[in-house]
Each structure stands twice: as C-alpha cells, then as structure tokens.
Amino acid sequence: MRVLITGGAGFIGSHLAEFLLSQGHSVHIFDNLSTGRLANVHHLSHRPDVRITVGDITDPAALGPAVREADSVIHLAAAVGVRLIMEKPVETIVTNVAGTEYVLKFASQRDLPVFVASTSEVYGKMMETDESIDALREDGDWRLGPTSKRRWAYACSKALDEFLALAYHDEKHLPVVCGRFFNTVGPRQTGQYGMVIPNFVQRALLNEPILIYGDGEQTRCFNHVADAVRAVALLMADPRVIGQVFNIGNTFEISMNDLAGRIKQMTGSRSEIVHVPYEQVFKHGFEDMRRRTPDLTKITGTTGWTPMRSIDDILRDVIDHVRHDAVSE
C-alpha cells in the first residue's frame, strides 16, 4: 500500500515511516520542514519504496497530486509546540485548520482512508474544573479558557480538525479516524519548541540549570513514540474505527519535579533544578494544566493496543539519542 504521511519528516512521522516500511508498505513523506528535518529521514531516502517531497499542506498545487497518488493518508502535519503556538498564533491556526481541510478534500475525491492526528490539548482544563475525573474519555466534555489566552488557539484548531474530519465522514462517507496524542516522546524529538523531556535531557547532559515552569507539581503522562506509531498502524488497519476518535497515550503520571530528578539521576548530571514563573517565559496569555491523564479503555477494547514502554524506557532512549547527536556533531 502507498501511504502518504504529511509531516513525515517530523519526529512522529519519521518513526511512522520506518514502521510502515517494516510492514511492507511504501511511503511518501510530505513535509514543509518548518519543524521537521530531512536528517530525520535521510537514512530512508535511498530506498526505492520511499519518496520525499518538500511541500506545504496549505498549498493545494503541491498537496493535491501527493494525495491522488496515495492509497491512504496519515495526516500528522501541524503547527506544534507550546513555544510556536505562543509566538506564531496565526501560523498555528491557518496551518492546522486550512491544511487539514485540504487533506480531507483531496482524500474525499478518491475515498481514501485518512488518519487525522489530534491532541490531548483539546480536553483543555477539564481535569482542573472537575476533580471527579480521573482520566479523560473521548466522549467526555472538554473545557478551554477564553480566547484572550493564546494557548487555547492550538487546542481549538485541533478540535476543529476533528470536527472537519468527522463531518467529512458523516456527509461524504470518508473513511477517517482521529487519534488524540498525549505527550508522545522519543528519539529525534527536539526541545526547540518547548518539548519538556528533550529539553531537560539536553540541559542535564550539559550540566546546565534544568528550568521547570511553575511549581513543578503539574503532572503529565508520556508515551513512547514506538508505542504511538503502533497504535496509528492498528487504527488504520481496523475498519471498525472509522468515524471515531481515540486517545493514544500512557496512563503513568509523573510530576515535572520528579521527571527532572529522574533525568538528573539517569544522566549523572550536576544540573541545578530551577523553577521559573510562567509569566517570565510566556508573556501573552499562557495557562497550564495540573493534570492530563488519558483513559485508554476505548482503544484497548477496540484494537487490543496498550503502551509497552515505561517512563524509564523513554528517558533512556532520549538520553542515548541526545548523547549520540552530541558526539556526531
């Protein structure tokens, strides 16, 4: 099968390309390289079953032919990362909404199966406002802050992506499925756009201060990229999931303070852990959540998928990758 991966030179996309190739598929990697890197897929570029196109999903002249040549589409391309969202809100909204609409429009012309990547951000601060919620379910409510808080632009744009995808399914019978990624982490992820684990690891290996925003007691659930791409492949192969939304994540929670401490220990770092107020870093309407934990009942019950790698597995892989990159440079 010929699979088009938008955002295919990105962190998740490059791992997904490797996985699909191992399953016997051919892949077309389509990326504008705004956050993706050709270095992520350079080791695949010589293969006859791989095609790489530098193009933008908001450019129909580039995207249309790529979709028309595919048998299925995995749509990962998006403006991502807290720092990018805060610094370039227009790019975030336009890329995420207009780009997804083009992908769905062209896919519907040939009735192609489509996976649309969404995010746990769409849940907003639901766990903050309802303490009775232990985990976030796909059919549960979501709550965002006011439009004056720039952070919510990303969440709203990805929620609109889901609405668009499900509307294309309902109205045009497009075989589409949405996956909400929770803090996917692993080798090749950059800390440049605010991703916490590669950021902490890079600073720890350099013995530089590890900066934690806020009091550090906020928790997150981190999922290894290898587990995430396995979930995407299972969803794309299962006709029962069409027209639905699924969480993709790990249920183990860890605070930012404990995460920094664990990274210091695993790297043997002398880094100081420093807490920085949010307003010193994000000056335009930033809000954070104390918890964000996925309920995996739906995806496990439907496909049998569960995450297999622990937080220590994730950290070891990221530490090894960052060390290797440092030596290579």
Pair 174, 168: CB distance under 8 Å: yes
Is 321 a domain residue? no
- Give the residues across from 177 on adjacent strands: 115
Distance CA 136, CA 159 (A): 15
* Distance separating alpha carbons of residues 209 and 184, to the nearest angstrom: 24
177 found inside a domain? yes
Q: Are 5 and 76 in contact (CB under 8 A)?
A: yes
Q: Would you call 154 a catalytic residue per the annotation?
A: yes
Residue 231's pLDDT is what?
Answer: 98
Give the whole-angstrom CA distance, residue 140 versus residue 138: 6
Domain count, the chain: 1
Residue 105 lies in a domain: yes
Question: Within 13 A of 81's CA, how many CA atoms are on the CB side?
Answer: 23
- 208 in any annotated domain: no
> What's 6's domain CATH number?
3.40.50.720
3-state secondary structure the chain: CEEEEECCCCHHHHHHHHHHHHCCCEEEEEECCCCCCHHHCHHHCCCCCEEEEECCCCCHHHHHHHHHCCCEEEECCCCCCHHHHHHCHHHHHHHHHHHHHHHHHHHHHHCCCEEEEEEHHHHECHHHHCCCCCCECCCCCCECCCCCCCCHHHHHHHHHHHHHHHHHHHHHCCCEEEEEECCEECCCCCCCCCCHHHHHHHHHHCCCCEEEECCCCCEEECEEHHHHHHHHHHHHCCHHHCCCEEEECCCCEEEHHHHHHHHHHHHCCCCCEEEECHHHHCCCCCCCCCCCCECCHHHHHHHCCCCCCCHHHHHHHHHHHHHHHHHHC
Q: What local confidence, expressed as pLDDT, does residue 85 receive?
A: 73
Answer whether 87's CB lies under 8 Å from 100's CB: no
Q: What domain range is 145 assigned to?
A: 2-185+223-251+293-307
Tell whether 117 is covered by a domain. Answer: yes
Predicted structure pTM score: 0.94
82 phi/psi in degrees, rounded to 5: -60, -40
Residue 162's nearest CA partner among 118, 124, 104 is: 118
- The answer to whether residue 326 sits within a structural domain is no
Residue that is written with structure tokens 């290579």 in the block: 328
Burial class for 134, CB neighbours closer than 10 Å (0-12, 13-18, 19+):
exposed
Provide the pLDDT for residue 83.
67
Region at 31 (left for phi over 0; alpha for psi -120 to 50; beta for the rest):
beta
Residue 30, in any domain of the structure: yes
Tokens (6 digits) for 76: 């990962």
Strand partners, 181: 119, 248
C-alpha span between 108 and 173 (Å, rounded): 8
- From the candidates 123, 154, 168, 213, give the one annotated as an active-site residue: 154
Asked whether residue 285 is assigned to any structural domain, the reply reads no
d(CA 176, CA 220): 28
Give me the residues of the chain with pLDDT under 50, please: 329
Contacts of 166 (CB under 8 A, 6+ apart): 176, 178, 243, 245
User: Residue 194: what pLDDT?
Assistant: 67
